Amino acid sequence: MTCLVVANTTNPFFRPVPLLSAVVDSDRKQVLKVYDRLGSVPVHVPPANDYDDETLARELSPLPQVSPFLLSQPLGPSFQVHGNTVSWQSWRFHLKPHARAGLVVSQAAFQDPHTKVYRSVLYQLHPSEMFVPYQSPDLDSANRDYADVGEYGFGVLGTTMGVPSDCPPHSVFFNATLVSAAGQVVVVDRAVCLFERPSSVSAWRHVEEFGTPFANGRTQVELVARMVTTVGNYDYFVDVTFKQDGSINVAISATGILEIEACAHTRVDPNNRFRDNPYGTMMSPFHIGTFHDHLVNFRVDLDPDGTENRFVREQLQRERLPPDNAVGRKSIWRVQEKVMTAPCACACTHVRVCQWFIDVVHVCVEKVVTARVHACVSAVY
């Protein structure tokens, strides 16, 4: 447990007490051991570095004004809500907050435009775990290996969302009544919001110049289910976005404030800024923001057209062409399909380019219904 200065600040994570930490039995509420290493690093508690509106208005020059714009639905939402079931365009799904997982989408189905029958897409989708390991050998940070979903609960730490900072004014809100790990009732007002928004890209467009000339484009609208949870110093936005083309996009983003630790230096070397502080970026004299990761896992139980399906990897393979080939190329690429029959490390990289699919084969019509799984991976520190 790291000690923080909490008096007269809205940002205690930026004011750790250097070199003082403790091992605490949270069940027995007992302090088992105290580590006091006073002397190895100068004791320097930085001034309050608050981000609330009042402090920023007092200490910073105001930003240039942005011209106002409006986003509204004067005729009301296009979706219907019956209990926890949502219907929108061709989509129908079940939506609820969960104490551990947070935002949970279940039984999502898409209506066939020809038969008008709802066809299964997925059984359940929700955050499974988020592992946050801090990369420092120092005693103050070595214990910072958090499992934000499993240890704390994305649902019970969900927060009431504001308008328009978290959700647009035309959103529909859902309250959450949950049970904590201690068996206590947790009520979160406006824990989930549901809203439509115009997409930043067209659903489809094309300009034809060689055949019969035409220019045509179609706008796209999305339906977003959102939940925001605050775990310590981080606030996480979890968005599940339904699109009119039958696709679902899942995104998680983080904001909030940094948690820092003490160091023995007051400035960085401009020629090698990580020479003295290889485990983080200097934020103020004697303090660094420690490098760390946010490794997020989602449970995505896809059931396209039911449960009889297979998990397939399509790997791009380079094929060397004969030296005397007619086109003069050295190589081309082709696709190699592999049906995965056992648990695997489902990773695609820039070196091994691949795609993942869940296939349902309809033998009677010799047609394959495919759900493509596309993962976007990013690393920022």
DSSP structure string for 78-131? S-EEETTEEEETTEEEEEEEETTTEEEEEEEEEE-TTT--EEEEEEEEEEEEEE
CB 125 within 8 A of CB 105: yes
CA atoms within 13 A on the CB side of 359: 17
339 vs 267: CA distance, rounded Å: 54
Catalytic residue among 134, 146, 152, 234: 234
Neighbours of 57 (CB within 10 A): 10
Neighbour-count burial of 352, counting CB atoms closer than 10 A to its CB (0-12 exposed, 13-18 middle, 19+ buried): exposed
148 is catalytic: yes
271 vs 178, higher pLDDT: 178
Alpha-carbon Rg of the chain, whole angstroms? 26
Out of 119-123, 192-196, 264-268, 284-288, the most confident range is 192-196
What six digits make up the tokens of 93? 């799904």
For the record, the structure tokens of 268 come out as 């960085």
Q: Where are the domains of the chain?
A: 74-303, 304-381
290: left (phi over 0), alpha (psi -120 to 50) or beta: beta
- pLDDT exceeds 80 at position 306: yes
- For the cut 50, the answer to whether the pLDDT of residue 366 exceeds it is no
Please answer whether residues 305 and 369 qualify as being in contact, where contact means their C-beta atoms are separated by less than 8 angstroms: yes
- Cα separations in angstroms, 379 against 228, 233, 376: 21, 19, 10
Largest Cα–Cα distance of the chain, in whole Å?
Answer: 80
Residue pointed to by tokens 């214990």 = 143
Higher pLDDT, 248 or 35: 248
| CA 192 – CA 173 distance, rounded (Å) | 6
Q: What does pTM read for this prediction?
A: 0.85
pLDDT digits (tens, 9 = 90+) for 244-278: 999 999 999 999 988 888 777 777 777 777 777 78
Exactly one of 134, 148, 152, 303 is catalytic; name it: 148
Rounded-to-integer distance, Cα 235 and Cα 229, Å: 6
What average pLDDT does range 312-332 have in this prediction? 88
Domain 74-303: assigned CATH number: 2.70.98.20
Please report which helix (H) or strand (E) contains residue 58, including its range.
Answer: helix 53-59
- Report pLDDT for 354: 57
Give the residue-averaged pLDDT of 71-78.
Answer: 91
Q: How far apart are the first and last CA of the chain?
A: 23
pLDDT at 350: 47
- Whether residue 293 lies in the annotated active site: no
Q: Please say if the pLDDT value at position 87 is more than 90.
A: yes
